Amino acid sequence: MTLHKPQIVTLGGLNIDLVVRVPVIPKPGETITGHSFATFPGGKGANQTVALARLGAQVCMIGRVGADSFGETLLQNLRQEGVRTDFIKIDDQRATGVALITVEDSGQNNISVAPGANMAVSAEEVAAAFSALAEVDMLVMPLETPMEAILTAARLAREHGARVALNPAPAQPLPPELLQWVDIIIPNEFEAAALTHIETSDEAGARQAALQLHEWTGGSVTLTLGERGALLLDAAQSPPQFTFLPAFRVTAVDTTAAGDAFVAGLAVGLSEGMSLTEAAQLGSAAGAISVTRHGAQPSLPKRSEVEAFIQSRSNPGV
């Protein structure tokens, strides 16, 4: 196990989430009266960054925000978490990303994003960050920035001897060039199905999709299956081994950012030298706690909370 804090670079989106709580998610064309409205700092990239920092990593984020109050709020929030933000550019032409989120009483959501400045991150900005960083253990990325920036980050991370963790969300086709640099891919069942064109709703399909992703990347696969748990395919074992990790049972109020919490827990655990199963357990617990709380970044747990949660679930009497 490493004794130092994992040094992690993130590249991804920063959004302000505008959230309306409703009894049920409206159908197309339907208007529904909601319960409440709130704004939260969000964006998959920023959520994963905050979750990584709360779980014990030293994080440097690469991204872009607009020169507006939303951008300032997001930057201040990251700084308060101890995140290095000097490679988040302030764009005076484009607005900060915004996500319109509807959360229903069951905790499920739907999300529409106007990416704004996020989709202007350049390969040069990514290269400037990597040339300033002496030590990088891992790169963690969702897909909310231009593919050229993502490709550059993956290539430079590998040149730094760092591992590349890719969360292929929101789903989009991925170039083979990117896949060859990925050490661990963390899709949910819908993203895995979109990438592989294999139906993942049953266990056989999920296994087949995971094998396809392993074949393309040569790396490990963690396929998250919502409240069912996660299917792991560990490339560190020869031949690669499947493990099914059941989810912790909790009462969900808001599932926003649960996937981000999972990705962060997994990345911190792997960077600390844990096995894939141990690291996924950390991610699963972080995700389970996050769904019991409202909002994206406010819901993300600290390391001490995650460890206490795992302890309480392994000793139910405590």
| Shortest separation between residue 288's beta carbon and ligand RIB, angstroms | 16
Query: 85: alpha, beta or left, given left = phi > 0 and alpha = psi -120 to 50?
Result: alpha
In which residue are the tokens 């064109």 written? 197
Rg of the chain in Å (alpha carbons):
18
Count Cα neighbours of 96 within 13 Å in the Cβ-side half-sphere: 23
**Residue with smallest beta-carbon separation from ligand RIB:** 42
* DSSP string covering 23-34: SSPPPTT-----
Q: Which is nearer to ligand RIB, 44 or 84 (CB)?
A: 44
Question: Where does this chain bind ligand RIB (CB under 6 A)?
Answer: 13, 15, 17, 42-44, 47, 99, 111, 113, 256-257, 259-260, 296
- Helix 44-54 with 258-271: angle, nearest 10 deg: 50
- Closest to ligand RIB by CB, 191 or 234: 191
The nearer residue to ligand RIB, 46 or 306, going by C-beta atoms, is 46
Q: Per DSSP, which regions of 12-57 are E strands?
A: 15-22, 36-42
Catalytic residue among 17, 183, 254, 260: 260
Phi, psi (degrees; rounded to nearest 5) at 247: -75, 155
Spacing of C-alpha 132 from chain mean position: 24
Residue 55 carries which DSSP code?
Answer: T
H or E segment to which residue 254 belongs: none
CB of 252 to ligand RIB, least distance (A): 14
| CB closer to ligand RIB, 21 vs 160 | 21
17 counts as catalytic: no
Q: Rounded to an integer, what distance in angstroms lies between the CA atom of residue 89 and that of residue 4? A: 28
- What is the nearest approach in angstroms of ligand RIB to the Cβ of residue 3? 31
Cα–Cα distance between 10 and 230 in angstroms, integer?
Answer: 23
Give just the sign of the alpha carbon dihedral 105, 107, 112, 113: positive
Q: CA angle at residue 255 from 250 to 261, to 5 degrees?
A: 90
Shortest CB 287 distance to ligand RIB, Å: 11
To ligand RIB, the closest distance from the beta carbon of 64 in angstroms equals 14
Nearer to ligand RIB, 13 or 269 (CB): 13
- By beta-carbon proximity to ligand RIB, the closer residue of 15 and 196 is 15
Do 306 and 285 contact (CB within 8 A), yes or no?
A: yes
Q: How many CB atoms lie within 10 A of CB 298?
A: 16
**Closest approach of Cβ 17 to ligand RIB, in Å?**
5
- The residues annotated as belonging to the active site are 260
